[in-house]
Structure 1
Amino acid sequence: MIYLDYQATTPLAPEARDAMLRWLDGPDGTGFGNPHSQHRMGRQAHAAIDLARDQVAALFPPGGKVVFTGGATEAINLAMRGCPGEGAMSVSAIEHSAVGDTAKAIGKCHELNVAADGQCNAKQDIPANTRLVAVMQVNNEIGVIQPTVEFHRKAKEAGALYLVDAVQAYGKMPVANADLIAVSAHKLHGPKGVGALWVRDGVELEPQQTGGGQEADIRSGTLSPALIAGFGAAASVAAERMDEDADHVAALWHKARDMFEGWELNGSADARYCGNLNLRKKGLDVARLMSDCRNIMFSAGSACASGSGRPSHVLKAIGLSDKQAKSSIRLGFGRYTSMEELEEAAQTLIHAAAQQG
């Protein structure tokens, strides 16, 4: 099988796996301690979390704290539901459903429109009664990098907090400046089930669950040393390899673009993370393509929306028709994708698409 679905999840880094094993049971069977206990095993587990917190924090801007969560969705919900005030929330039309659906559930939601190239329109105004602005850094479906600097400024001018979903950017490029930043470990070769919310110093959030308040008194629940250690190790490796990984995915991107001649690119070719290639071909039956190419793991849209039967809200937001949206595929590649794998997959997909007539 050839895996080309890096936006959905990434392969676990060997370094992350090794870091996790120590805290599942450990070589002497003492690695399973509760990190909130005061005895020796608990203090050892707590020390592992402290180390991982520093490793994860190293990829964020200075001047904030890392709050570990069960994933980016929880981090986003904590940021949005815990945001003080009664004003509206302004969110881009291409946000992940964790942001979009949460904004709708809270109510008083203002949608920010998006240009045909996939970038949120930085010329539009933020309503005066806005308490939080949410514009992601890299879109998970089309890979387009958003104008976060402009929206951070607009949020400040409106007296609002700025939330960035940096799930697809964290560990791959410098993270955008914001008040609140949500990330997930499994999108940078860490384990599933753990994420983080970075909170700028001075920003106060209201807890969304009661309990022990283990994380900065705003997130309760026993932390997993194994998951967090794996997250920390993955973040550390990403920091060391960021330039190398970027060069690798850029080479893969240019090769793939050349091979898929005649296919239309969805989103900007310039303001883009190169590990994401979202393409469409007129008349393409994507379900048939996936059936004919079962050994290639790729996506017909974001993994969270697959199987719904609805056209991608992101592709609709950039002006595509239902037919165009449903004839689109997303190829995601990264650190562990070889050029040979990419070429083989591209040839197979192109050949299968041509057989559809």
Structure 2
Amino acid sequence: MPVYLDHAATTSLHPAALAAMTDALVRTGNPSSLHGAGRRARRLVEESRESLARAAGAHPSELIFTSGGTEADNLAVKGLYWQRRAESPERTRILCSTVEHHAVLDTVEWLERHEGAEVTWIPVDGSGVVDLDVLARELAREPQRIALVTIMWANNEVGSLQPLRQVVELAGAVGVPVHSDAVQAFGAVPLDFASSGLAAMSVSGHKIGGPVGIGALFLRRDVKLVPVQHGGGQERDVRSGTLDTASIAGFAAAAEACAASLTEESVRLAALRDRLIEGVLQAVPGAVLRGSPGSGRLPGNAHFTFPGCEGDSLLFLLDMAGVESSTGSACTAGVPRPSHVLLAMGLDEETARGAQRFTLGHASTADDVETLLRVLPAAYAQASKAGMAGHESSIQTAGTVGRRAES
């Protein structure tokens, strides 16, 4: 049985989620229908909404179901931009960190190309943490023209937690709403949407033991946004579409399970992570841990760069040895280019191409970590012999990263 160390990409279905989905799948009923079957489906949806809201520290009316984190990010960023610009045409500025997931980055860049947005890229330090001084300076510059700020809660590649409280305080002082992609943070660290001050927050089901294809946008009740898609007017008329009752039930069950064991599980995963980090640095002395140390990173994340080898080569060799890892975000896996996150952190392309991410989840064990440490030295030695492939990054990617770095 392979050792799975890519829980940041997707994690295994939690038993509670599987049970909830199985029960819901054998029932019939559209939650928008008025007959008995429809009302039963609606009741399950609303009970699930309440459970998810509790897990995120939100009011049930603030939760809008989506097909996943990517849709939630698109709905928040586009919807807020269009709404704020409609209220005041001069609001065309978007402040965005350079290390966002592509669900946010590509959305922001689309708005820049097609909707007249003026994007200011907020840089990060060597650990991938946003520069608050630059953010404060940009917020002070023509704040009346800023549509929104979007900063992730935790980075999906290197695991660094962002200073969201300070970000929200800075933006709130000049009346600018903040959206946060919390897909990696939800279920891993304590979240409280109500006290966060965020205008909007995106989460996803399959990162916490729920099914793929379900997510949510938490949207403060006093915040309006323009819908991205139109139809039957479901979800506060913000996100039309027939609700997936079974997936919603599974998502809620997984969230309940995570919330019930969050403290204990965070401690357990952090201990496994620390053992993994210690062992990797001993097994490969040249390896470098990337991201914030200790409590400044997600409890299940360990990200390294390995000198003198391609990350893809190491990944495949580890896979052959029975350990499944990644080189970064699964949404860009297989694309021969260095991570935009690592480049934004100041790494050169050759160093960034030696990346490997090991992420732990609810099914991870101490044996998983020890298996990795046992097979890693030989895999690294073989990958090092192959050396760097020498392929060139795409001009488009380099240009994009360059523009963000210069902003």
TM-score (norm 1): 0.96
Q: Which residue of 2 aligns with 1:241?
A: 261
Aligned pair count? 352
Q: Which residue of 1 aligns with 2:251?
A: 231
Q: Distance in 1 between matches of 2:228 and 2:273?
A: 41
Alignment of 1:171-186 (within 5 A): 171-175=187-191, 177=196, 178-186=198-206
Equivalent residues of 1:130, 1:158 under 8 A apart: no
Q: Which of 69, 72, 81 pairs up with 1:72?
A: 69
Q: Which residue of 1 aligns with 2:128?
A: 118
Q: SS at 2:292's partner residue?
A: coil
Q: Which residue of 1 aligns with 2:398?
A: none
Q: Distance in 2 between matches of 1:195 and 1:276?
A: 22
Q: Distance in 1 between matches of 2:38 and 2:361?
A: 36
* Percent identity for Structure 1 against Structure 2: 37
Between 234-243 and 344-353, the greater mean CA deviation after superposition: 344-353
Q: Which of 291, 310, 323 pairs up with 1:267?
A: 291
Q: Which of structure 1's runs of 4+ aligned residues deviate more than 3 A?
A: 61-64
Q: Which residue of 2 aligns with 1:342?
A: 369
Equivalent residues of 2:190, 2:262 under 8 A apart: no
Between 320-329 and 339-348, the greater mean CA deviation after superposition: 339-348
Q: CA deviation at 1:285?
A: 2.6
2:103 is aligned with 1:104:
no
Q: Distance in 2 between matches of 1:85 and 1:74?
A: 19
Q: CA deviation at 1:135?
A: 0.6
2:166 is aligned with 1:150:
yes
Q: Which of 236, 243, 252 pairs up with 1:216?
A: 236
Equivalent residues of 2:96, 2:150 under 8 A apart: yes
Q: CA deviation at 1:335?
A: 1.5
2:29 is aligned with 1:33:
yes
One-letter code aligned to 2:43: A
Q: Which residue of 2 aligns with 1:277?
A: 302
Q: Which of 186, 201, 221 pairs up with 2:221?
A: 201
Q: Which residue of 2 aligns with 1:82?
A: 79
Q: CA deviation at 1:61?
A: 3.2
Q: SS at 1:300's partner residue?
A: coil
Q: Which residue of 1 aligns with 2:13?
A: 12
Q: CA deviation at 1:254?
A: 1.3
Q: SS at 1:77's partner residue?
A: helix
Equivalent residues of 1:248, 1:334 under 8 A apart: no
Q: SS at 1:182's partner residue?
A: strand
Going from structure 1 to structure 2, the CA distance change for 1:62 and 1:292 (only over 3 Å counts) comes to closer
Between 238-247 and 61-70, the greater mean CA deviation after superposition: 61-70
Equivalent residues of 1:164, 1:182 under 8 A apart: yes
Between 158-167 and 225-234, the greater mean CA deviation after superposition: 158-167
Q: SS at 1:247's partner residue?
A: helix
Q: Distance in 1 between matches of 2:190 and 2:234?
A: 28
Q: CA deviation at 1:171?
A: 1.3
Q: Distance in 1 between matches of 2:377 and 2:254?
A: 34
Kindly provide the CA deviation profile for residues 172-195 of structure 1, in whole angstroms up to 9, marking residues without a partner as x: 212261110000000100000000
Equivalent residues of 2:52, 2:252 under 8 A apart: yes
Q: SS at 1:345's partner residue?
A: helix
Q: Distance in 1 between matches of 2:202 and 2:64?
A: 10
One-letter code aligned to 2:14: A
Q: CA deviation at 1:317?
A: 0.4
Q: SS at 1:260's partner residue?
A: helix
Q: Distance in 2 between matches of 1:250 and 1:325?
A: 25
Between 178-187 and 124-133, the greater mean CA deviation after superposition: 124-133
Q: Which residue of 2 aligns with 1:24?
A: 25
One-letter code aligned to 1:264: V
Structure 1 unpaired stretches of 5+? 26-30
Q: Which residue of 1 aligns with 2:401?
A: none
Equivalent residues of 2:267, 2:299 under 8 A apart: no
2:361 is aligned with 1:301:
no
Q: CA deviation at 1:92?
A: 0.3
Equivalent residues of 1:265, 1:280 under 8 A apart: yes
Equivalent residues of 2:315, 2:356 under 8 A apart: no
Q: Which residue of 2 aligns with 1:320?
A: 347
Equivalent residues of 1:155, 1:161 under 8 A apart: yes
2:207 is aligned with 1:187:
yes
Q: SS at 2:133's partner residue?
A: coil
Q: Distance in 2 between matches of 1:206 and 1:284?
A: 46
Q: Distance in 1 between matches of 2:30 and 2:171?
A: 40
Q: SS at 1:316's partner residue?
A: helix
